[in-house]
């Protein structure tokens, strides 16, 4: 399986008479783009804006991020979701780099939605402040979930994917600036010099805890809550087999953009044949019942052992209840003789003194932290808010609150905010590009 990603570097984005990409400039016909968005009758109001690094703009509630792409065989960008089911990870896909489609609610937010500042102190907390973003800000008639803390956000998320496909078609007949190649030989057919290196698997635990359809990450369009741990070629992940769900405290989230550009996968590819033998990805799940958690952990360890893995990296999307899945998986792998490193955020409280993970075990002795979700952040007003600032306080965003006996509301009268890092969109960068570091005192 060989995946080629043809990269087109976006230097600027603007609106114009036609949607096209020329000499690094992406031009968007807004009326045509909105027509694509409004193909879903549930979209009642929509606009498209362009924001760039350094703009004095705050976006909230942010629901999803997608990289615009085009599959050269004409197939859907997300097989089984935006079109017919087909193999991902093989062939050529064109990608517009340095940009994303951001989906923002015009009014209502929820536990899984977040905030992005494009400038100032807040910009350092999320990777997406570094991108030139095409912002779809819209509302829907999905009244049944308007005031629900957990929202499926289906109409808005699917509109974002259609918009990303529409923009991706601009490069369908052009030569890319560069081509990234991702190819792994079948495990049993690798050269001796590769076989002699330590075999490493990446275990991914996307958010799949909701029993009801519509909230969880999708694997080729299938609710990943229903799956058992599955071996996948890493190319499939990079090429649209996975899309983000709509259930997760937002700083912990893996957006669809994260799956398309999963940095841990790319780094393992860089090391493949040099320091490690990258065996592939075990796509696991996060569960609710203890028996389910233990079953998944055993499946992961069994797959890793039978692949001949000597080491594993386990990456968890989330915290709290999912910590039990995370630690159970680490322990099962260690018990199987697979040396394992975990990557996750932690929830140590506003004072930093609480237990970082809900579940811990002495065998989980190699953990990488991407930061404390409960750290308080104070940010000044921005010149422009896209979406609705009050959503941060009113709608149960995971890092915001309507009233706190000491701090008051997250949203102040002057437009400044105080919130926990929890609400920063994909701010923990668990996929491999956390902006955080540690200092020794």
Q: Give the residue-averaged pLDDT of 209-218.
A: 93
Which strands, in side-by-side order, build the sheet including 2-9? 69-71, 91-97, 2-9, 178-183
Region at 177 (left for phi over 0; alpha for psi -120 to 50; beta for the rest): alpha
Going by pLDDT thresholds of 50, 70 and 90, the confidence category of residue 171 is very high
Q: Is 396:145 a contact under the CB 8 Å cutoff?
A: no
Q: CA geometry: angle at 401 spanning 382 and 385, to 5°? A: 20
Going by pLDDT thresholds of 50, 70 and 90, the confidence category of residue 437 is confident
282-326 tens-digit pLDDT: 999 999 999 999 999 999 999 999 999 999 999 999 999 999 999
Q: pLDDT at position 131, please?
A: 98
> How far apart are the C-alpha atoms of 106 and 63, rounded to whole Å?
11
Q: Give the residue-averaged pLDDT of 272-276.
A: 98
For the chain, the structural domain boundaries read 2-423
Q: pLDDT at position 229, please?
A: 97
Going by pLDDT thresholds of 50, 70 and 90, the confidence category of residue 122 is very high
- Residue 441, judged by CB atoms within 10 A of its CB (0-12, 13-18, 19+), counts as exposed
Which strands, in side-by-side order, build the sheet including 339-346? 230-232, 277-283, 199-205, 311-316, 339-346, 367-372
Q: Give the residue-averaged pLDDT of 211-225.
A: 95
Q: pLDDT at position 439, please?
A: 74
**CB within 8 Å of 268: residues ≥ 6 apart:** 200, 202, 234, 276, 278, 313
**pLDDT at position 427 over 80:** yes
Residue 277's DSSP bridge partners are 199
Q: pLDDT at position 249, please?
A: 87
**Integer CA distances (angstroms), 57 to 80, 100, 163, 177, 372, in order:** 35, 16, 22, 30, 25
**pLDDT at position 395 over 90:** yes
**Among 75-84, 163-172, 349-358, whose mean pLDDT is lowest?**
349-358
Q: In this structure, what are the phi and psi dihedrals at residue 222, rounded to the nearest 5 degrees?
A: -95, 130
Q: Is 328:284 a contact under the CB 8 Å cutoff?
A: no
> How far apart are the C-alpha atoms of 254 and 425, rounded to whole Å?
9
> How far apart are the C-alpha atoms of 280 and 262, rounded to whole Å?
13
Going by pLDDT thresholds of 50, 70 and 90, the confidence category of residue 436 is confident
The radius of gyration of the chain's CA atoms, rounded to the nearest angstrom, is 21
Residue 191: Cβ within 10 Å count? 10
**pLDDT at position 336 over 80:** yes
Q: pLDDT at position 175, please?
A: 97
**pLDDT at position 181 over 80:** yes
Q: pLDDT at position 257, please?
A: 98
> How far apart are the C-alpha atoms of 247 and 318, rounded to whole Å?
10
Name the helix (H) or strand (E) containing 199: strand 199-205
Q: Is 229:280 a contact under the CB 8 Å cutoff?
A: no
312-324 tens-digit pLDDT: 999 999 999 999 9
Q: pLDDT at position 415, please?
A: 97
Q: pLDDT at position 434, please?
A: 85
Q: pLDDT at position 6, please?
A: 98
Q: Is 386:135 a contact under the CB 8 Å cutoff?
A: yes
Torsion over CA: 229, 95, 138, 382 (sign): positive
Q: pLDDT at position 312, please?
A: 98
Going by pLDDT thresholds of 50, 70 and 90, the confidence category of residue 146 is confident
Q: Give the residue-averaged pLDDT of 56-60.
A: 98
Q: Give the residue-averaged pLDDT of 93-115.
A: 96
Q: Give the residue-averaged pLDDT of 199-218.
A: 95
**Average per-residue pLDDT in the chain?**
96
Range 122-158 burial, b when 16+ CB lie within 10 A, else e = bbebbbbbebbbbbbbbbbebeebeeeebbbbbbbbb
Q: pLDDT at position 269, please?
A: 98
Q: Give the residue-averaged pLDDT of 97-101.
A: 98
**pLDDT at position 204 over 90:** yes
């Amino acid at each position: 399986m060989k995946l080629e990603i043809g990269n087109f570097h976006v230097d600027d984005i603007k609106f114009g008479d036609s949607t096209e990409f020329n000499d690094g400039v992406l031009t968007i016909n807004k009326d045509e783009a909105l027509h694509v968005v409004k193909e879903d009758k549930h979209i009642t109001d929509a606009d498209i804006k362009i924001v760039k690094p350094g703009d004095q703009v705050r976006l909230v509630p942010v629901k999803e991020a997608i990289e615009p792409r085009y599959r050269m065989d004409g197939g859907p960008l997300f097989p089984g979701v935006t079109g017919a089911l087909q193999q991902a990870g093989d062939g050529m896909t064109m990608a517009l780099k340095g940009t994303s489609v951001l989906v923002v609610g015009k009014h209502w937010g929820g536990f899984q939605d977040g905030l992005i500042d494009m400038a100032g102190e807040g910009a350092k907390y999320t990777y997406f402040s570094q991108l030139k973003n095409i912002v779809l800000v819209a509302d829907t008639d999905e009244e049944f979930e308007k005031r629900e803390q957990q929202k499926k956000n289906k109409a808005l998320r699917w509109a974002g994917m259609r918009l990303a496909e529409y923009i991706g078609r601009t490069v369908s007949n052009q030569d890319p600036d560069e081509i990234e190649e991702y190819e792994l030989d079948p495990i049993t057919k690798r050269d001796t010099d590769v076989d002699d290196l330590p075999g490493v698997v990446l275990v991914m635990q996307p958010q799949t805890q909701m029993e009801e359809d519509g909230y969880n990450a999708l694997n080729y369009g299938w609710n990943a809550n229903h799956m058992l741990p599955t071996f996948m070629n890493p190319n499939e992940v990079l090429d649209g087999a996975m899309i983000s769900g709509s259930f997760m405290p937002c700083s912990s989230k893996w957006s669809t953009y994260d799956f398309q550009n999963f940095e841990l996968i790319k780094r393992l590819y860089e090391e493949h044949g040099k320091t490690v033998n990258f065996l592939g990805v075990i796509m696991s799940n996060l569960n609710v019942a203890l028996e389910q958690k233990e079953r998944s952990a055993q499946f992961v360890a069994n797959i890793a052992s039978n692949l001949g893995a000597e080491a594993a990296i386990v990456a968890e999307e989330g915290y709290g209840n999912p910590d039990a899945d995370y630690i159970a998986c680490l322990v099962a792998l260690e018990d199987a003789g697979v040396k394992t490193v975990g990557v996750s955020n932690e929830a140590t409280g506003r004072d930093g003194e609480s237990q970082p993970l809900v579940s811990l075990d002495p065998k989980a002795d190699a953990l990488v932290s991407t930061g404390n979700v409960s750290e308080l952040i104070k940010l000044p007003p921005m010149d422009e808010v896209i979406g609705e600032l009050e959503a941060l306080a009113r709608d149960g965003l995971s890092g915001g609150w309507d009233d706190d006996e000491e701090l008051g509301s997250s949203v102040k009268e002057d437009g400044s905010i105080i919130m926990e890092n929890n609400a920063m969109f994909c701010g923990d960068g668990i996929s491999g590009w956390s902006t955080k570091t540690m200092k020794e005192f």
